[in-house]
Amino acid sequence: MTAQGRPLLYLIAPLLAVGTLFFAPLATMLRYSVQPAASAAGGSGGLTLEHYARFFSDPFYLSSLALTIATGVLVALVAVAMSYPLAYLFWRSGGHARAWLMVLLLSPFYVNIVVKVFGWMVLLARFGLVNRALVGLGILKAPAELLDSYVGLLIVLIHRCVPFMVLVIAGSMEHIDTTLLESARVCGSGAAGVFRRVILPLSIPGVLAGGILAFSLTVAAFVIPLLVGGATGRRFVSVLMYQSVSVTQNWNLGAAMGAILLIASVATISAASRTLKGSRFGTIISENFGR
């Protein structure tokens, strides 16, 4: 094996792992989505688009897809607004403060998602800590039904995404050359000007990456919508996929739902990326993610 061919040898194992764990299941899902329902049980083969036609002809399924995508966008936007100040604080801090912030950011990853959801169910209950705090502060006159509601669903989804996004944005800020900040100050920019003209534009790639991550985590969420979202959460496409496969045993329709959700998610991410690339931050994003 020559020195030039050795790197290709090292890529064989990762490519096999990706092909086995990602592309093979994806291909299987796509194959099931275009098979007649009888073929899953060993009946006649052939290809059909009946499951896609059923999805797009049913207003309930279309509204569920819109709800899932819109919630993903909303969670990503709110998570960005909440995460950016925390990421900036983490980037500018040092010593023991930075270490404690890292512990706080990583602490949610130490707990299983199901345990976290059950914890939020206790907090969001009618007489839970959140309701008691809101009533005590005078924000609410009486306890609200936060559990099994869309508001409660958003709270838990945002809580799940914020640690990921803070770490991604902070990582992007770590690559900012401090000499640029000093140059901006020498040229007469104050703290607000340095942030607006240097820090914010150069951290946009991290914001985009974090937003994509938050959106992806939200549209693919299953446990949180099922346990916290009530009737609204059970309309998420991921939950409908589970019901189609496990309850009604319609694997083909569930596979079609998965394919549609995947395509809709990729289209939404591509549209958001193109919109940002067309803005004043487009050059910076293109340099980091390609054109």
**pLDDT tops 70 at residue 248:** yes
Number of other residues whose CB lies within 10 A of the CB of residue 71:
23
Q: Is residue 283 part of a domain?
A: yes
Q: Which of 92 and 166 is assigned the larger pLDDT?
A: 166
**pLDDT tops 70 at residue 220:** yes
Q: Considering the entire predicted model, what is its pTM?
A: 0.84
For 250-285, what is each residue's pLDDT tens digit? 889 899 999 999 999 999 998 888 887 766 555 555
pLDDT class of 6 with cuts at 50, 70, 90: low
Q: Which of 118 and 108 is assigned the larger pLDDT?
A: 118
Per-residue pLDDT, 291: 46
pLDDT class of 134 with cuts at 50, 70, 90: confident
For 56-83, what is each residue's pLDDT tens digit? 999 999 999 999 999 999 999 999 999 9
Q: Is residue 10 part of a domain?
A: no
Contact partners, residue 241, CB within 8 Å, separation at least 6: 254, 257, 258, 261
Q: Is residue 233 part of a domain?
A: yes
Q: Is residue 229 part of a domain?
A: yes
Q: Is residue 200 part of a domain?
A: yes
Instruction: Give residue 143's domain range.
Output: 46-289
Choose the most confident range, by mean pLDDT, from 196-200, 225-229, 282-286. Answer: 225-229
User: How many folded domains does the chain comprise?
Assistant: 1
- DSSP per position, 144-161: ---TTSHHHHHHHHHHHH
- Residue 214 DSSP SS3: helix
- Residue 5 DSSP SS3: coil
Cα separation of 241 and 255, whole Å?
7
Per-residue pLDDT, 288: 55
Cα separation of 241 and 256, whole Å?
9
**pLDDT tops 70 at residue 176:** yes
Would you report the helix, strand and coil content of the chain in percent, each value rounded to 5? Answer: 80, 0, 20
Cβ atoms 207, 83 nearer than 8 A: no
Domain containing residue 216: CATH number: 1.10.3720.10
Q: Is residue 31 part of a domain?
A: no
Per-residue pLDDT, 287: 55
Q: Is residue 96 part of a domain?
A: yes
pLDDT class of 172 with cuts at 50, 70, 90: confident
Range 168-190 average pLDDT: 81
Cβ atoms 129, 123 nearer than 8 A: yes
Q: Is residue 29 part of a domain?
A: no
